Amino acid sequence: MEINLVEEQFNNLDGATLRIMYDENQNLNLLELEPEKSGDPVSVWVDEELKNRMLEALTIIKLNDLDTKLYETLKGVLRKYDYNLIETLAAAKDNIDFMIIWMYSENKSLIVQKLVNWAVEQEENNEI
């Protein structure tokens, strides 16, 4: 996965590209930050939780009130379906009121990304 980051996120640095790779043998993610104009790439191995926190911090798109309502609604449905995202989205899309609001959201992928991160955290907390 690649994410383009803007200049404002890096305290006087140019924009950059963040590449995220996964090594199944090590069960770790490699985050590689490559400056847009000058400098060598920097990389670090991190676990899933730290990767998710870093992505959350670097996400420049924030959820508006409508998207937050969708996110919170989906969290409730996700609990009901034992954190199965496919079943959750299918059930939510059967609700006409939800579908009308969902159609107007411009941040569907961000909502789903945040939902997946939240579900993983919930499942990990329940395993402990």
pLDDT computed for residue 72 by the predictor? 92
pLDDT, mean of residues 90-118 = 86
C-alpha dihedral sign at 96, 98, 104, 106: negative
Specify the pLDDT at position 122.
Answer: 79
Kindly report, residue by residue over 52-75, the tens digit of the pLDDT. 777 777 666 678 888 998 999 999
Tokens of 23: 């090594």
pLDDT digit string, tens, across residues 3-45: 555 544 455 556 677 788 888 888 888 888 887 777 788 888 9
Q: Is the pLDDT score of 1 beyond 60?
A: no
- Report residue 27 as tokens: 């069960």
Burial per residue of 111-128, b for 16 or more beta-carbon CB atoms within 10 angstroms, e otherwise: bbebbebbbeeeeeeeee
Q: What does residue 33 show for φ and ψ, rounded to 5 degrees? A: -105, 120
* Other CB atoms within 10 Å distance of the CB of residue 30: 15
Instruction: Output the CA–CA distances (angstroms, integers) from residue 92 to 64, 66, 101, 117, in the order listed.
Output: 19, 15, 11, 18
Q: Which pLDDT tens digit goes with each residue over 81-103? A: 988 888 988 888 888 988 888 88
Predicted pLDDT at 128: 41
Lowest mean pLDDT among 67-71, 83-87, 109-113, 121-125: 121-125
User: What dihedral angle (degrees, nearest 10) is formed by the CA atoms of 96, 98, 99, 101?
Assistant: 130
